[in-house]
């Protein structure tokens, strides 16, 4: 009987170690999501430190990706937030949508992040129109349209690409409303 107690103690110690690693991964995941939220806000505000914040978020994303025990869904959620911030930053700063490899987060997080970036770009369209910067607004609207058009053929079950269909539907509405607003603005 003593062997069973030793065995259970060994298993318990292993599970405690796993729990600690998962707790660290969860904390890192929350830290990355918060950092990306701040980054996106500062991109909208055109703050000078966004490049450094992006590098910090990239480092957090890399650390999270390296945690083997981290739950895949936890990773996916956090990494799509990073992809959204990276894509948004790239469109604003260099005028192009980066590819999946540039983001470094993997294909699923990249696609989910692209759909989310459309919402941030819509905000930029309206901000640009409020400043009468029509050319800039059209550039952002074109980026939104390109992202949406590139992803229209993507159709997978929920367990393969969780939340993507809903994000795609929302993106369609956002793109259409921006196009309508640009038409309306052009007539004014």
Walk me through the domains of the chain, giving residue ranges and CATH numbers: 2-187 (1.20.58.2140)
**Contact yes or no for 175/145 (Cβ under 8 A):** yes
Contacts of 68 (CB under 8 A, 6+ apart): none
Mention every residue, 6+ apart, whose C-beta is less than 8 A from residue 53: 35, 38, 39, 42
Q: What is the pLDDT of residue 73?
A: 79
Q: In the structure encoding, which two tokens stand for residue 112, read together? A: 């989910």
Mean pLDDT of the chain: 93
Residue 188: predicted pLDDT: 61
pLDDT at 61 over 80: yes
> Does the pLDDT of residue 145 top 90, yes or no?
yes
> How many other C-beta atoms are found inside a 10 Å radius of the C-beta of residue 63?
15
2 confidence band (pLDDT: 50, 70, 90):
low
* Whole-Å CA distances, 54 to 27, 59, 137: 19, 9, 23
pTM over 0.85: yes
> At 104, is the secondary structure helix, strand, or coil?
coil
Segment 57-65 mean pLDDT: 94
């Amino acid at each position: 009987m003593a062997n069973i107690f030793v065995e259970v103690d060994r298993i318990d110690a292993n599970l405690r170690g796993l729990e600690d690693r998962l707790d660290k991964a969860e904390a890192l995941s929350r830290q990355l999501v918060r950092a990306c939220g701040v980054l996106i806000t500062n991109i909208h505000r055109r703050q000078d430190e966004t490049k450094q914040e992006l590098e910090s978020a990239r480092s957090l994303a890399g650390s999270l990706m390296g945690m083997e025990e981290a739950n895949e869904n936890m990773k996916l959620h956090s990494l799509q937030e990073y992809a959204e911030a990276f894509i948004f930053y790239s469109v604003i700063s260099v005028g192009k949508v980066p590819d999946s490899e540039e983001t470094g987060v993997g294909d699923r997080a990249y696609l989910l992040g692209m759909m989310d970036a459309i919402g941030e770009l819509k905000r930029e369209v309206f901000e640009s129109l409020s400043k009468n910067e029509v050319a800039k607004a059209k550039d952002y609207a074109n980026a939104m349209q390109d992202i949406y058009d590139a992803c229209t053929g993507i159709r997978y079950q929920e367990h393969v690409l969780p939340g993507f269909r809903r994000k795609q539907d929302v993106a369609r509405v956002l793109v259409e409303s921006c196009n309508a607003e640009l038409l309306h603005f052009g007539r004014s």
